[in-house]
Amino acid sequence: MDDKVRTRIIAVLFIAVFVGLSVRLVLLHMKPSESTLARIADGRHLKVETRGERGRILDRNGNILAVDVSARHVCVDPKLIMNHGDIQEVCDALTTHFSMDRDKVWKLLDQPTRQYVRIKKYMREKDTRELEALGLKGVMFDEVPIRNYPKGVLGAHLIGFANHDGVGSAGIEQEMNSTLQGHAGLRISQKDGRRREIYSLRTVNIEPKSGSDIYLTIDQQVQYFAEKALDELVAKHQPQGAWAIVQHVRTGEILAMASWPTYNLNQFAFAHKEWIRNRAIGYTYEPGSVMKAMVIASALDSGVVSAQDVFDCENGRWYYKGIALNDSHPEGLLSVADILKKSSNIGSAKIALNMGDAKVYQCLKDFGFGTATGLELPVEEGGILAKPKRWSKISSTRLAMGHEINVTSMQVVSAFSAIANGGVRVRPHVVKKIVDGNGKTVRETVVEELGRPIRPETAKQMCRLLARVTQPGGTGTKAALRGYVVAGKTGTAQKANVKGGGYYKKKFIASFAGFLPVENPEISIMVVADDPQNGYYGGSVCGPAFKTIADQTVRYLRISPQGNQANEEKPKTEAKE
């Protein structure tokens, strides 16, 4: 084949390719296929959903406990990076800046068909500035909100956390998720060849709306007092768990709710599920002798006994229905007042027998046991209070000393608050008010009366009797506070063996519940320790922590030894329907 023929063949081939391309271009522009049109439209389509800012959580004084802050996803466009030949430079920068494995980064970049890959999620803006300053092609920074908890550990179990998708997953964050969650925004538009939005072609633009702010009843300072007191208790007695509650007597507001073990809300992903558990409302147990306060209060209120009536406490060992009941310290004849002061199991059991099963059961129901309190927190337990028809012949004698019943500490502190509040039981609450994005208060919690388990005169009498517990000769002297008259009751209960039946001989729940000042009670406090070491009596284990919290709280809130009730306007109440 000579050169002329060869040249003609090549020319024909070039002409054929040119004509083919021309025909294809004409067809694409004049009459493109449906699939082609769809791909073009899809490539130009821009749809962006934006998450509304989550509402803040604040304490009663406006201190921020939870808030959304700006964060960034560090992303790359592998296709763009490969086309510009910068993959080596980008890989070096990402590996160095984030201390990542080089092979892992290379695999993420070596995807020439992809245009969006996340390298690092939820990074603080300050941690990406240096990388951004390099101006690397194909490296992008997507702005996203992330939940921040400025106080870290403080109030962890009450506040809870929202996950990285903005969904509340514990505490108030979970219970009030729909209130806190903002409304999503939407932007629909088109983009050019460089993936930039063509603003003139925007068809939908719905701005996101922020969620409402929630003001809690807790005071961050009182919360701090409670948590530090628990830290000291744990360091000394090494329990499996410990918790404390501080409540305003007349309003039912929770000023503090602490639980140990705890965790940092900003690192919730690393927390064990037992650390997240709010033991103050989610742990049920047999409370022991703190229950004597409610049983004796009802016995006095119904006229079954008087404070001066005397019972034989059998020198510490008594057989009833063939089963022995013991006291930790042998006592002989004791008045009802001293049965409470000395915490006699035998004396309390005999009082309960005088009341009868029906009265004992009604007493415990009236004080709120067997039913959740209705606190605005998730996973609140209601405890267990069986009906009398399921009781044995000795059940009332055991219920009188806090056995054969399961309670939460929230129920117990609420019952003590009822005694302190003139016999009026109010619903405990942790939400003070809700404020929308425009600054308008859309809900403010009012005091809700739940019932009156005892008469005002009985409540006043019980305040005086419970004050004797912290005085010389009582079981709660370590909870006494200089300058103040403190009312309270110790609790020391053997732990039930759920798997094997019966009770552990050397495992206890220790507690102390009480309120102050006695004449005009302002705050009630409860401290509990689960299986403490180096002692197990409620008075010696939990009494000092109660005292510490009480001492710091009355000074901080400027509660006088006579109480502030006389100088305050009586709160409005709303009766339960």
Query: Same domain, yes or no, for 143 and 259?
Result: no
Residue 262 pLDDT exceeds 80: yes
Of 216, 243, 272, the residue that ends a domain is 216
Query: Same domain, yes or no, for 157 and 244?
Result: no
What's the CATH number where 352 sits?
3.40.710.10
Q: Convert the pLDDT of each residue in 71-127 to its tens digit.
A: 888 888 888 888 876 788 888 888 888 888 888 888 888 888 888 888 888 888 888
Query: Same domain, yes or no, for 292 and 153?
Result: no
Q: Are 459 and 415 in contact (CB under 8 A)?
A: no
Residue 577: inside a domain: no
**Does the annotation mark 289 as catalytic?**
yes
Q: What is the pLDDT of residue 23?
A: 66
- Distance in angstroms (rounded) separating the CA atoms of residues 447 and 222: 21
Residue 12's SS3 state is helix
Dihedral angle computed from the Cα positions of residues 300, 305, 306 and 309, in that order, rounded to the nearest 10 degrees: -150
Query: Same domain, yes or no, for 84 and 144?
Result: yes
Q: Convert the pLDDT of each residue in 136-158 to its tens digit.
A: 888 888 888 889 999 999 999 99
* Residue 566 φ then ψ, to 5°: -65, -25
Residue 225: inside a domain: yes
- Selecting among 289, 343, 344, 348, the annotated active-site residue is 289
Query: Same domain, yes or no, for 224 and 179?
Result: no
Query: Same domain, yes or no, for 161 and 296?
Result: no
Of 160, 188, 216, the residue that ends a domain is 216
Query: Same domain, yes or no, for 152 and 204?
Result: yes
Query: Same domain, yes or no, for 211 and 230?
Result: no
Q: How many domains does the chain have?
A: 2
- Distance in angstroms (rounded) separating the CA atoms of residues 223 and 552: 11
Range of the domain at 172: 48-97+119-124+138-216
Residue 169: inside a domain: yes
Residue 11: inside a domain: no
Query: Same domain, yes or no, for 425 and 329?
Result: yes
CA separation (Å) from 515 to 192, 233, 416, 485, 563?
A: 69, 20, 7, 9, 11
Q: What is the pLDDT of residue 205?
A: 64
Query: Same domain, yes or no, for 146 and 193?
Result: yes
Query: Same domain, yes or no, for 208 and 240?
Result: no
Q: Convert the pLDDT of each residue in 298-321 to its tens digit.
A: 999 999 999 999 999 999 999 999
Residue 277: inside a domain: no
Residue 103: inside a domain: no
Residue 571: inside a domain: no
Query: Same domain, yes or no, for 184 and 241?
Result: no
